[in-house]
Amino acid sequence: MSLSPKETKKENSFSEVDHIRSGSTSQQPQTGVWTSLKDSFKPAIQAETLTSANYDDNKELTDLERININSANSNLQRKLKSRHLEMIAIGSSIGTGLFVGCGGALRTGGPAGIMIGWIITATGVFATMQGLGELAVTFPVSGSFNLYASRFIEPAVGFAIGWNYFMQFFVLLPLELVAASITIKYWNSTINSDVFVIVFWVAIVFITLLGVKGYGEAEFIFSLIKVLAVIGFIIMSIVLICGGGPSHEFIGGVNWRNPGPFANGFKGVVSTFVTAAFSYGGTEMIGLTAAETADPRKTLPKAIKQVFWRICLFYLGSLTMVATLVNSSDKRLIGSSSVDATASPFVIAIVNGGIKGLPSVINAVILIAVLSVGNASVYATSRSLNSLAEQGMAPKWTGYVDRAGRPLAAILITDAFGLFALIAASDRQVEAFNWLLALSGLSSIFTWLSINLSHIRFRAAMKIQGRSLGELPFLSQCGVWGSYYGFVLNMLVLAAQLWIAIFPLGGSPSAYNFFLSYLGLPVLLVSWLFYKLWKRDWTLFIRAKDIDVDTGRANLDLEYLQQEIAEEKSRLAEKSFYIRWYKFWC
């Protein structure tokens, strides 16, 4: 397949911008450290051939065309390496949702309930991430899923999803700083919490200002510690269950028989789905790295495939141990929204096992997890805001990117809001944060729904435009039916949350509890309506035949891409069954 002159021009332009974004300095004169640091904060060097203004001098661009072009030509730099992506993929969502939040789910759903909730939710997450992988490898553009929603569904949906996702992680930074200060109280409860808030805030600001490479290195270390801790916990739990602890008591299935596998019947099981969705939140962040990955064609598929192993080992493996070692009626298990690390079922399991010293280790790991999520929240928020600015959905100045590839304005805005955590010493901190979280409490589910629908619409566009799936560098292992499954499952989780919001467990219906649980939906709808009124565009969806399936493609030389994929398949076919099986899943 030969390229048209216009396509050839595009391809050469993308190669040029990738060279600029990679941070190459081979043609730049040597300068001092201070000068280089100072210059790095200057505006990024623009690739003039790629601006929407001169993309086609003879054509008046629509808002959607400008969105596609500007997002494809972001000034973010491709500095994340394979090892960064792999560890981010493994550890990005191992945080307080797993270490602390699962305690509340165990209390309300029981050991069988928590396993059912996490397993079923996991199948939807796996299918959703496969669809995201196909889109992100094909279109490694700035903004990822909120851009896909604008591009494959319609811009108002992208606007609502983008701002909702921004709010989710914007609020998360101060929340995690408060959580870190509370975790410290395990060792010292006499020092004012705000002291530790400032200490941790300074640390996170320092990391975030290092740029994407600093984020990658920090997450590599944080995630490695979390992974080793979870593996160590699983091994230790097996020993305790088999009676190898200090008391030599064989635990077996005692906690499954008394008080029983289910704590509150069917309703208790349903309540675990919401906590499970919150726990898996952040899995989709691997899509945000697409625009800053050195070789998305090679590294993103591997990172996406590791979602399967992460779910099986780190979630289901550790939760099986927790459900076996901790009794669901234990009074120390408190609400899933709590950030009190002393209520972590991981800590309770070790205390019950009579092992001294290890509770402090687990609390230290929880502290690291909290800081990791805080660091990741700045990354997610800044990239989301930068993408919204590129799409013309946020003030233009918020999309400022410096020469180091940092979305500087977005990072500083997020870091500044982190100081809201100084209310940690206030008696009203829980109520304040509960309402902030309520604004985007369902954001992960909305984001996953948009990914599912974007993938379905993309496949529909490919089909109706007569395009072959052989053009795609990576195909979802679940196919388009996986996205249909993920869409339906996420809708059911929303319905389950609505039921629990109206008729809460152990309580009576109230408007206060309803909006605390379901405020995210009206916020999303208002955002969607605001964009419609702002742009005066009442199109409900983009027709499949009009969807742009070319702008921002990772490789426009389709003939070369297909030849490369064919050679890879040929080499793999010569390998043994075990290697082929490994490559399929890894």
DSSP string of 351-394, one letter each residue: HHTT-SSHHHHHHHHHHHHHHHHHHHHHHHHHHHHHHHHHTTSS
Whether residue 508 is found in the same domain as residue 381: yes
Identify whether the C-beta of residue 316 lies closer than 8 Å to the C-beta of residue 102: no
Question: Above 80 in pLDDT, residue 363?
Answer: yes
Identify whether the C-beta of residue 80 lies closer than 8 Å to the C-beta of residue 294: yes
What's the chain's average pLDDT?
80
Whether residue 411 is found in the same domain as residue 434: yes
Confidence of residue 16 (pLDDT cuts 50, 70, 90): very low
Section 32-48 average pLDDT: 66
Contacts with 367 (C-beta within 8 Å, 6 or more apart), sequence order: 180, 183, 184, 341
Question: Above 50 in pLDDT, residue 338?
Answer: no
Whether residue 517 is found in the same domain as residue 564: no
Whether residue 362 is found in the same domain as residue 406: yes
| Alpha-carbon distances of 466 from 471, 544, 545, rounded to whole Å | 11, 11, 10
Q: Which of 109-118, 372-381, 457-466, 569-578 has the lowest mean pLDDT?
A: 569-578
Confidence of residue 8 (pLDDT cuts 50, 70, 90): very low
- Answer whether residue 352 is part of any domain: yes
Question: Above 90 in pLDDT, residue 309?
Answer: no
Q: For residue 249, is it left (φ>0), alpha (ψ between -120 and 50) or beta?
A: beta
Number of domains in the chain: 2
Section 205-220 average pLDDT: 84
pLDDT tens digits, one per residue of 383-442? 888 888 888 898 888 888 887 778 888 899 988 988 887 765 566 666 666 677 677 678
Identify whether the C-beta of residue 357 lies closer than 8 Å to the C-beta of residue 272: no
Whether residue 365 is found in the same domain as residue 431: yes
Q: What type of residue sits at position 445?
A: I
Whether residue 486 is found in the same domain as residue 578: no
Question: Above 50 in pLDDT, residue 333?
Answer: yes
- Write down the pLDDT at residue 135: 92
The residues facing 402 across adjacent strands are 43
Confidence of residue 586 (pLDDT cuts 50, 70, 90): low
Identify whether the C-beta of residue 516 lies closer than 8 Å to the C-beta of residue 435: yes
Whether residue 440 is found in the same domain as residue 496: yes
Whether residue 538 is found in the same domain as residue 568: no
Q: 410-413 long-range CB contacts below 8 Å, 24 or more apart? A: 410/381, 410/382, 410/383, 410/385, 410/386, 411/208, 411/209, 411/378, 411/382, 413/382, 413/385
3-class DSSP assignment, residue 293: strand
- Residue 567's domain spans which residues? 558-586
Q: Kindly provide the residue ranges of all beta strands, DSSP E only, lying in 162-238, ordered along the sequence.
A: none
- Answer whether residue 565 is part of any domain: yes
3-class DSSP assignment, residue 404: coil
Question: Above 70 in pLDDT, residue 458?
Answer: yes
pLDDT tens digits, one per residue of 120-150? 998 998 899 999 999 988 888 777 788 899 9
The residues facing 43 across adjacent strands are 402
Contacts with 85 (C-beta within 8 Å, 6 or more apart), sequence order: 286, 289, 293, 299, 300, 302, 303
Confidence of residue 93 (pLDDT cuts 50, 70, 90): low
Confidence of residue 159 (pLDDT cuts 50, 70, 90): very high
Whether residue 568 is found in the same domain as residue 546: no
Identify whether the C-beta of residue 341 lies closer than 8 Å to the C-beta of residue 183: yes
Section 552-566 average pLDDT: 72
First to last CA, the chain: 31
The counts of H helices and E strands in the chain are 24, 0
- Write down the pLDDT at residue 24: 45
Question: Above 70 in pLDDT, residue 303?
Answer: yes
Question: Above 90 in pLDDT, residue 245?
Answer: no
Whether residue 562 is found in the same domain as residue 450: no
State the Cα–Cα distance between residues 4 and 287, nearest whole angstrom. Answer: 30
pTM: 0.86
Whether residue 106 is found in the same domain as residue 252: yes
Confidence of residue 578 (pLDDT cuts 50, 70, 90): confident
The angle that helices 102-138 and 443-464 make with each other, rounded to 10 degrees, is 30
Q: Is the four-CA dihedral 61, 65, 71, 74 of positive or negative sign? A: negative
Question: Above 50 in pLDDT, residue 4?
Answer: no
Question: Above 50 in pLDDT, residue 7?
Answer: no
Residue whose entry in the numeric block shows the structure tokens 């410290």: 184
- Answer whether residue 9 is part of any domain: no
Identify whether the C-beta of residue 183 lies closer than 8 Å to the C-beta of residue 363: yes
Neighbour tally for 241: CB within 10 Å = 22
Whether residue 571 is found in the same domain as residue 535: no
- Answer whether residue 39 is part of any domain: no
- Answer whether residue 15 is part of any domain: no
- Answer whether residue 40 is part of any domain: no
- Answer whether residue 36 is part of any domain: no
pLDDT tens digits, one per residue of 510-543? 888 888 888 888 889 999 999 999 988 888 889 9
- Answer whether residue 190 is part of any domain: yes
- Write down the pLDDT at residue 1: 41
3-class DSSP assignment, residue 328: coil
**CATH code of the domain covering residue 502:** 1.20.1740.10
Section 201-213 average pLDDT: 86
